[in-house]
Amino acid sequence: MDYIWRFFGFSRASFNAHPDSLVLHSSEKATRLIDLCKSIVPLCWLNPFLFNGHLQTCWTAIKERGPLIYYKRRIFFAEAAAYAGSFAVDFVVQPHEGTDPELPPRTTYLYENELGELGGDDETPMLVVLHGLSGGSHEVYVRRLLERLVGEDWKLCVINARGCAQSSITSDLLFNARATWDLRQLVKWLQQMFPNRPLFAMGFSLGGNILVNIAPKEAIPYQEFQRNPFTVLCTTRLGGHLGWFENGGGRWYVKPATQFLKAIAALSERKADIAGHRERFSPTTRSVGPNASFDPMRRKFRTNGS
């Protein structure tokens, strides 16, 4: 029966998570993280003519104008001498008529006297987006995501990897899946500039790898999703890399992604609840239940031939 549904472009979403998933509290009720994810993931109905992952992925090469997102770009210079160089961050702003031939469309530079336009002491949730390999804020898959949050009381920005999105290369240090230094500096700057804003992040492809590495300093293998109470893995049988094209050209993944962000932002007492679970599921404790354990897998580069 499942094959018949897939023939018409329908695909079930599967979820993998720890049996004792993280509990999120709101003023009304407590909700397990996995139950929250299941409740906000809509029906996956894709274009039946793109009937496998290869076709979905190939279709991303088709040039699509996509939604019009306007940016102001700020250049950051690395604070740490070990990571010398610069990187560009594009902040989503209201539509403007400014243009710059050296930057992507609808993008102009943000000057110091314009910083106040980004806000200050407000408590608006802020999202930092990390693009995929050789991408940038101009990519359609990034703009499709931002489109659903523009006008929804969110502050948005995209961190561009060094040399991407027509940013200048100012040193011989570029980026890789473990290059967390620029993101760390940006987060520090955002916390200083906007101390009351809860920060969220979302990464695509290589950007997702960087995001995973910034907090635990480790990769998350598939098996660990079933033992880690802080993660939920959602998969579908159909779709492709940065694909999931629906009938009409929309991209399905932006729906569960943005709905999850909105749901998390609406919850209260997140910090207290997460802190309690972190103590319960400390890796030094190892045992978290009769049939499960949480012992993160560490991955380190080999150096000096070791």
| pLDDT over threshold 50, residue 59 | yes
Neighbours of 34 (CB within 10 A): 21
- Mean pLDDT computed over 28-40: 85
pLDDT tens per residue, range 172-187: 999 988 889 999 999 9
Q: Tell me the C-alpha distance between 175 and 161, whole Å.
A: 7
Q: For position 119, what pLDDT does the model report?
A: 85
Residue 259, both tokens: 């709905």
3-class SS letters over 48-92: CCCCCHHHHHHHCCCCCCCCCCEEEEEEEECCCHHHCCEEEEEEE
Residue appearing with tokens 């999931």:
244
Residue 65: CA count within 13 A, CB half-sphere: 3
Residue 143, both tokens: 């703009």
Three-state DSSP class for residue 26: coil
Cβ neighbors of 258 (< 8 A, separation 6 or more) are: 145, 148, 149
72 against 248, higher pLDDT: 72
Residue 15: CA count within 13 A, CB half-sphere: 18
Amino acid, single-letter form, for residue 87: F
| pLDDT over threshold 70, residue 306 | no
φ, ψ (nearest 5 deg) of residue 59: -65, -20
- Mean pLDDT computed over 286-296: 43
**Residue from 15, 32, 28 nearest 230 by CA:** 32
pLDDT tens per residue, range 73-103: 999 999 999 999 999 999 999 999 989 999 9
Q: For position 282, what pLDDT does the model report?
A: 41
Task: Give Cα separations from 175 to 25, 148, 169, 180, 261 (angstroms).
Answer: 37, 29, 11, 8, 27
Amino acid, single-letter form, for residue 155: K
In terms of C-beta density within 10 A (0-12 exposed, 13-18 middle, 19 or more buried), how is residue 241 classed?
Answer: middle
Cβ neighbors of 304 (< 8 A, separation 6 or more) are: none
- On whether the CB atoms of residues 85 and 168 are closer than 8 A, the answer is no
